[in-house]
Amino acid sequence: MQPKMIPALALALCGIWVAGCATRPSDSETERAVAEMIKASFKTRGQATVARLNQDDAQALCSKHAGELPKDVSDGIEKAQQATIRYPSSGKLTGDWREGERIAQSGVGKQFTDAPTRPAGGSCYNCHQLSKQELSFGTIGPSLYQFGKQRGASEAIQKYTYGKIYNSQASTACSNMPRFGHNGVLTEEQITHLVALLLDHDSPVNK
Amino acid sequence: MRIDRVLAGVLAATLPCLSPAQQDTQKEIERYRQMLQESNPAELYEARGEELWKTRRGPRNASLERCDLGLGPGVVKGAYVRLPRYFADTGRVQDLESRLATCMVTLQGFTPEEARRKPFSGTGAPMITTDPFSGVGQRSVMTDLVAWIASESRGMTIAPSVSHPKERLAYQAGERLFYYRAGPYDFGCVTCHGEEGKRIRLQNLPKMTNAKDAQRAFGTWPGYRVSEGELRSMQWRMWECVRQMRFPELEFASDASIALITYLAKQAEGGTFDAPAIKR
Amino acid sequence: MADPMRIRANMTGDKVEVKVLMAHEMETGLRRDAGGNAIPAHFIRNVSVTYGGKTVLSAQWGTSVSRNPFLHFRFNGGKPGEKVMITWLDNKGEKRTDEAVIAGGG
């Protein structure tokens, strides 16, 4: 019979079977099973194609090293992701914070129940606090309240902020935050509105 | 009531980690949950499920009373908390819903497609009325059965079987899937369920690799979702998560869904099963 | 024939406390399906509760009451062992009546 309370360490080292590690499925057996499941258990629906389950380099590495990311791997990811960042050719990195608030509130985008033509939102409040008035905010990411007030709105800060939203893994490998620009979720213009929401002196985020 | 104690436990467990303002929000969330506890519409599904188990249906005009859910033909009490498990007759690891589909085929003569049709009841949120499984005002036999069978394990200890080689494989595959990051949002289950004390908007997120969180989470599905006016099962919960992860559609009772449920059930091992529960 | 109500009735002090769960869609008529068509309104209009032939509660409901409504109330003058009868009538003319025996001491 299996014991009810399993020490975390044993869990990490050996899986959880009292019978011994030797009877555990091998890594390659597990990998094969997972590959088969991914093929057979999912189907394309609406805009969500099965091709989405093909991982890019960052996704594959982050899945493989979940829980403990070696420094050389995280450095490599950050370098590669940094290279993907595209800034607006106009040079204008800050848009309209009112539009930014609308984008931050919207959780629509890329689901098979979403119309493909409808612009995606940033789902920002799902994970972050932003304005003081909005009480329905998540805590998966840090609070962004007073983001601009704390940092100012210099060109360097605008670039940093834009880059964070475009590809969060350029600064934090395997970040939980979607790579909104790089993955084509938000447009250039939408990101500038979010930059304004975060940095503009008049934005509710900085009041 | 047991649920009150569980909620009190949630409150006690999360309060120390929160700032005063966050504690107020937490208190209000819990107070709202308490108000919903009074009477759970899941009872209506349970009553129908109990009838459906005994009702003769399908081409063979047979009931499900000989269905083996792992504890022997017809044994329902305590079956839910011992699932998922390996079944020799199908050679597969199966959860409750895939096992019910099997019995609908072998005992009642339905085709596999018919057995899997309409696993989810009602309309859900208006945005998923295109779902082939749901329809306006339509019931789901599967959901009713799940409600009753789950209620027959209420109060028991969660104890899925992970000793057979195929069960171990399902567990390990489920673990890999849990950490699998993909799609345009780079999400994996771990993105939302990998850290303690987090929430999405105002919805608390269990850390599914933390035993206490997993026990509470796994122990309260199936659950009646007040906001949808429907009872929702573990298969539905997986399907809905995967949709929100921006992945393609997870097939009902598929191997991946069973692997994930196996992994989660094992994380919840030792917890007290308290379903069907009532949820926001 | 609609699903039966789940009724609990017991004494709380000298009052009868009743908790009843009704199975009903309570569709407002404002929701739309995938094709854009309005889902027809289907909701309970009237609820009446009788004890010993007398009406102890009468309610007029509308579309603001949610699906599978739960009603919780107390009334005077009831005794354990006696029956309380509940009837609902909806906008399509469908109705359902169920009764429960009042349990003692609660």
Q: Which whole number is the average pLDDT over C51-65? A: 96
Which two tokens mark A185?
């979720």
The verdict on B92 and B123 lying in the same domain is: yes
The verdict on B33 and B70 lying in the same domain is: no
Q: Which residue of B has its CA nearest to C68?
A: B41
Asked which of A158-167, B21-30, C65-74, C86-95 is least confident by mean pLDDT, the reply is B21-30
| 8 Å CB contact of A24 and B188 | no
Q: Which residue has the tokens 């369920």?
A: B193
Q: For residue C68, which residues of chain B lie inside 8 Å, CB to CB?
A: 41, 44, 229
Q: Which residue of A has its CA nearest to B239?
A: A42
Instruction: Place B20 in a pLDDT band, splitting at 50, 70 and 90.
Output: confident
Judge contact between B149 and A1, C-beta under 8 A.
Answer: no
The verdict on B128 and B158 lying in the same domain is: yes
| B103 catalytically annotated | no
The verdict on B16 and B92 lying in the same domain is: no
Residue of A61, A113, A143 best to disrupt the B interface, most CBs of B under 10 A: A113
Fold of C6-101: Immunoglobulin-like (2.60.40)
State the first-to-last Cα distance of chain C, in angstroms, to the nearest integer. 32
Rounded CA separation A1/A12 (Å): 20
Compute the radius of gyration of chain C from its Cα atoms.
Answer: 16
| 8 Å CB contact of C42 and B129 | no
The verdict on B66 and B114 lying in the same domain is: yes
| 8 Å CB contact of C70 and B41 | yes
How many separate helices (H) and strands (E) can be counted in chain B?
11, 8
Burial class (CB in 10 A: 0-12, 13-18, 19+), A119: middle
Compute the radius of gyration of chain A from its Cα atoms.
Answer: 21
Q: Over chain A, what HEC string results?
A: CCCCCCCHHHHHHHCECCCCHHHCCCHHHHHHHHHHHHHHHEECECCECHHHHCCCHHHHHHHHCCCCCCHHHHHHHHHHHHCCCCCCCCCCCCCCHHHHHHHHHCCCCCCCCCCCCCCCCCCHHHHCCCCCCCCCCCCCCCCCCCHHHHHCCCHHHHHHHHHHHHCHHHCCCCCCCCCCCCCCCCCHHHHHHHHHHHHCCCCHHHC
| 8 Å CB contact of B270 and A66 | no
Domains held by chain B: number:
2
pLDDT at B37: 62
Q: For residue A138, which residues of chain B lie inside 8 Å, CB to CB?
A: 198-202
Please check the confidence at residue B239 and state whether its pLDDT lies above 80.
Answer: yes
Q: Any bridge partners for residue C73, and if so which?
A: C18
- Across C77-101, b (16+ Cβ under 10 Å) vs e yields ebeeeeebbbebbbbeeeebebebe
Closest CA to B184 of A183, A126, A166, A46: A183
Domain range for B240 is 40-279
Using one digit for the tens of pLDDT, what is the confidence trace for A56-97? 999 999 999 998 999 999 999 999 999 999 999 999 999 999
The verdict on B143 and B235 lying in the same domain is: yes
pLDDT at C44: 98
Fold of A97-206: Cytochrome Bc1 Complex; Chain D, domain 2 (1.10.760)
Backbone angles phi, psi at B164, to 5 degrees: -65, 145
Using one digit for the tens of pLDDT, what is the confidence trace for A13-58? 444 444 445 578 899 999 999 999 999 999 999 999 999 999 999 9
Rounded CA separation C37/C26 (Å): 17
Using one digit for the tens of pLDDT, what is the confidence trace for B49-102? 999 999 999 999 999 999 999 999 999 999 999 999 999 999 999 999 999 999
Q: Which residue has the higher pLDDT, B122 or A52?
A: A52
| B44: contact with C, CB 8 A cutoff | yes
Q: Which whole number is the average pLDDT over A94-104? A: 98
State chain C's mean pLDDT as an integer.
Answer: 93
Instruction: Show me where the domains of chain C are located.
Output: 6-101
Asked which of A160-174, B114-128, B195-209, C38-52 is least confident by mean pLDDT, the reply is B114-128
The verdict on B106 and B26 lying in the same domain is: no
The verdict on B11 and B94 lying in the same domain is: no
Q: Which residue of C has its CA nearest to B37?
A: C70
The verdict on B197 and B207 lying in the same domain is: yes
Please check the confidence at residue B2 and state whether its pLDDT lies above 60.
Answer: no
| 8 Å CB contact of B270 and A140 | no
Query: Residues 6 or more apart from B46 whose CB is under 8 A from it?
Result: B144, B147, B148, B151, B276
The DSSP output letter for B169 is H
Using one digit for the tens of pLDDT, what is the confidence trace for A105-154? 999 999 999 999 999 999 999 999 999 999 999 999 999 999 999 999 99
The verdict on B17 and B156 lying in the same domain is: no
Please check the confidence at residue B118 and state whether its pLDDT lies above 90.
Answer: no
Please check the confidence at residue A177 and state whether its pLDDT lies above 90.
Answer: yes
| 8 Å CB contact of A125 and B201 | yes
Which ipTM score applies to this complex?
A: 0.90
pLDDT at A46: 94
| 8 Å CB contact of A37 and B244 | no
The DSSP output letter for A187 is -
Query: Residues 6 or more apart from A32 whose CB is under 8 A from it?
Result: none
Rounded CA separation A187/A169 (Å): 18
| C38: contact with B, CB 8 A cutoff | no
Chains with 3+ CB–CB pairs under 8 A to A are B
Judge contact between A163 and A171, C-beta under 8 A.
Answer: yes
- % of chain B beyond a pLDDT of 70: 84
Give the closest of B39, B129, B130 to C21, CB-based. B39
pLDDT at B228: 83
Please check the confidence at residue C12 and state whether its pLDDT lies above 70.
Answer: yes
CATH classification at residue B149 = 1.10.760.10
Q: Which whole number is the average pLDDT over B264-276? A: 97
Please check the confidence at residue A12 and state whether its pLDDT lies above 70.
Answer: no
Q: For residue A139, which residues of chain B lie inside 8 Å, CB to CB?
A: 22, 197-199
Q: Which whole number is the average pLDDT over B16-43? A: 73
Residue of B201, B205, B238, B241 best to disrupt the A interface, most CBs of A under 10 A: B201
Catalytic residue among B67, B103, B189, B241: B241
Q: How far is C-alpha A194 from the geometric centre of its chain's CA atoms?
A: 16
pLDDT at B30: 72
Instruction: Place C104 in a pLDDT band, splitting at 50, 70 and 90.
Output: confident
Q: Name the amino acid, one letter, at C13.
A: G
Q: Which residue of A has its CA nearest to B130?
A: A113
Give the closest of B162, B195, B255 to A41, CB-based. B255
Sign of CA dihedral B132, B134, B138, B140: positive
Rounded CA separation B38/B35 (Å): 7
| 8 Å CB contact of B183 and A53 | yes
Q: What is the helix (H) or strand (E) element at residue B262, kind and residue range? A: helix B255-267
Q: Which residue of A has its CA nearest to B247?
A: A48
Rounded CA separation B59/B107 (Å): 10
Instruction: Show me where the domains of chain A are located.
Output: 97-206
| C23: contact with B, CB 8 A cutoff | yes
Which two tokens mark B185?
């949002």
